[in-house]
Amino acid sequence: MFLNEFPTGTTVNLRVSVKGHTIKLNTDILEPVKKKSRKYGYGIVCNPVVVNDRLINFKNFPVMVDIFDKSTNRVCRFRASAVALDARHKKLFIFSQNPSKVVENRCAHRVPCVFKVIIKFEDHTKVIQGRTHDISYNGASFIFDKEECDCKVGDKFTVSIFDEEEHVYKTEGKVVRIIEDFNPDLVFLGVRFAKDKLRGLVSRLQMKETRLRKE
């Protein structure tokens, strides 16, 4: 994503480097800068940052910009090419030349995998089948047919995960996010596991991933 693609009201976290120290500040987006600057790139207009009644001037200090993208549950990071107040000190302009780098927003690394999944939601008698997209010790991404999967954020479930040798791993969890716009026929569920019952499976996948990278 580029900096000007985030909607009005989005929180912007700023990490400012001052004499070897990092200062964390935040503001929010008032509006995107509609036209790309040839010199500075893509921009957003934000509220000025005031700390202890002091207006912060970012001139000559390196600034990194972190914005949480709700659609992907990831933090998007930008290196600011310019950060400056307008003449009346009523608006803060932030520009970045390049698209964001995605920062991992999880406490455990996810490993890509495609395993069969059979899930049963707590309030439903229906059992549905799908597949994994990625998995970690404490969560995963599941993909199901949209017509089959009728659930909402917060729904609890029990799930059986079948690895490539048809070994079954069972655990419980809840839905933490739902994405439906990446494919008209599928639904993408971000889930968090209630108990760490998948350590053996995930450890094996992580070792395999590390080995492939070395090769």
pLDDT of 90 higher than 60 = yes
pLDDT in the model for residue 197: 73
Q: N- to C-terminal Cα distance for the chain?
A: 31
> How do residues 62-79 score in pLDDT, each as one tens digit?
999 999 876 665 788 999
Strands ordered across the beta sheet of 41-46: 82-85, 92-96, 41-46, 21-37, 11-18, 63-69, 74-79, 101-103
pLDDT in the model for residue 138: 84
Greater model confidence, 206 or 101: 101
Q: For tokens 């053996």, name the residue.
A: 200
Rounded distance, CA 160 to CA 127, Å?
A: 11
Provide the percentage of residues in the chain whose pLDDT is more than 90.
49
Tell me, yes or no, if the two domains 3-103 and 111-214 fold the same way.
no
Query: Which superfamily does 3-103 belong to?
Result: Electron Transport, Fmn-binding Protein; Chain A (2.30.110.10)
Q: Which CATH class is domain 111-214?
A: mainly beta
Amino acid at 62: P
> How do residues 10-49 score in pLDDT, each as one tens digit?
999 999 988 888 899 999 999 999 999 999 999 999 999 9
3-state secondary structure 134-148: EECCCEEEEEEECCC
> How do residues 142-184 score in pLDDT, each as one tens digit?
999 998 898 888 999 999 999 888 889 999 999 988 887 667 8
Q: Where are the domains of the chain?
A: 3-103, 111-214
pLDDT in the model for residue 33: 95
